[in-house]
Amino acid sequence: MTEVRLPYADRREAGRLLAQRLEGYRGQHELLVLGLPRGGVPVACEVAHGLQAPMDVFIVRKLGHPAHEEYAIGAIASGGVRVLNPEIEVPPEAVERVADRELMELRRRERLYRGDRPALALAGHTVIVVDDGLATGSTMRAAVTAIRLQHPAHLVVAVPVGAAQTCQMLRREVDELVCPAMPEPFRAVGLWYRDFPQTTDDEVYELLEAARRGHALETH
């Protein structure tokens, strides 16, 4: 097994290494890989390719504090799921304003990334949810909560790097958590990549199309 040496070169390298850590799932029947847009999609694309599995996106939007947008008070996900941080007190009407704005963006991304294609059915499948890292975990927690409502047979969270405390918390909410590197102090996901540009909507769409075409070729 390849030793983890931080920082990763980029998300694609991190995804290839993560796929090695998930090798036991390769070729498994009813396996699906879900990437969290936008940054998780390049990682998930490598994981899906390595595991010979179909891939889709699962869209989650952070809810930023009304006074400090970068400070997460929770998140929303496809399926109407909302996760709020109980330790942060924000007036309900302020939460609704933020949630309404983010819901519009969530729906926009679903149309942009998937078009008229329906989301992959998750019931009865082994689902591996991938992001480029875990800091506070609010986005991933929203995704996990929403995916659980669709009754997967087995739910795995896989990230190349994460904060140890966040990973410990999430481990209790899924069947397996795979995180090859948990450096301390963690601070931010981007610190553990040499090349960490913002992933664009166009890149997400192109990666999804490439993943769909590649899997179609492999399965026919």
Q: Which of 3.30.300.30, 3.40.50.1820, 3.40.50.1580, 3.40.50.2020 is the CATH number of 11-58+121-218?
A: 3.40.50.2020
C-alpha 191 chain-centroid distance: 18
142 phi and psi, to 5 degrees?
Answer: -65, -40
- Give the span between the Cα atoms of 109 and 105, in whole angstroms: 6
CA distances from 122 to 54, 82, 105, 109, 161 (A): 12, 19, 23, 20, 25
Share of the chain above pLDDT 70, in %: 96
Q: Do you know the residue count of the chain?
A: 220
First to last CA, the chain: 31
Using 50, 70 and 90 to split pLDDT, how confident is the model at 215?
Answer: low
User: What angle separates helix 138-148 from helix 164-171, to the nearest 10 degrees?
Assistant: 10
Using 50, 70 and 90 to split pLDDT, how confident is the model at 154?
Answer: very high
Q: Which of 127, 160, 108 is nearest to 55 (CA)?
A: 127
The model carries a pTM of 0.88
DSSP reduced 3-state for 136: coil
Of 33-47, 64-78, 128-142, highest mean pLDDT: 33-47
- Give the span between the Cα atoms of 166 and 181, in whole angstroms: 12
170-194 pLDDT, tens digit each: 999 999 999 999 999 999 999 999 9
What is the average per-residue pLDDT within 59-65? 88
- Residue identified by tokens 């875990």 is 134
Q: In the predicted model, is pLDDT for residue 219 greater than 50?
A: no
